Amino acid sequence: MYRISLAQVALLLPACLLLALWDGVWGLSALCGGLVAVVPQAWFAARAFRYSGARSAQAVARSGYAGEVGKFLLSAAGFAAVFMLLRPVSGAAVFAGYLAMLAIQITGSWMLLRRPPAQRVQTQELD
């Protein structure tokens, strides 16, 4: 899961720099929208995957719920901060950056789940 967040940032930064060369407001707005997706997802990954194993099933469930609540609150606060503090702002670019990062997150998660179980266990420490 951490690799997905790193991939998101690795794609977001150059894309927004290129976009900023075309239109600075769009570049900065897309960057902020992308970060509104990446930061809460990284928070969720850190919280939800702290524990593993059958003995810690309750801790896993609690961490997952806490991570999801934190992700929701961070997303809401991120959007509020962007639209209150960033002037000028392009709403379309904010949401485009957000949706692009969500697409990468969904695709990356789908690719992880498609791996055979033995391969997932071997690479889980890296993810």
Q: How many domains would you assign to the chain? A: 1
DSSP state of 125: T
| Distance from C-alpha of 5 to C-alpha of 104, rounded to nearest angstrom | 9
pLDDT tens digits, 40-91: 998 888 877 766 665 667 777 777 788 888 889 999 999 999 999 999 999 9
Label residue 79 exposed, middle or buried (CB < 10 Å: 0-12, 13-18, 19+).
middle
Q: Examine the pLDDT at 25 and tell me if it is beyond 90.
A: yes
Q: State what percent of residues in the chain have pLDDT above 90.
A: 48
Q: Check if the beta carbon of residue 68 is closer than 8 Å to that of residue 29.
A: no
| Distance from C-alpha of 50 to C-alpha of 106, rounded to nearest angstrom | 21
Kindly report the CA angle at 24 between 19 and 26, in degrees rounded to 5?
60
Domain range for residue 101?
2-123
DSSP state of 115: S
Instruction: Kindly report the three-state secondary structure assignment for every residue of 33-68.
Output: HHHHHHHHHHHHHHHHCCCCCHHHHHHHHHHHHHHH
Q: Examine the pLDDT at 26 and tell me if it is beyond 70.
A: yes
| Distance from C-alpha of 119 to C-alpha of 123, rounded to nearest angstrom | 6
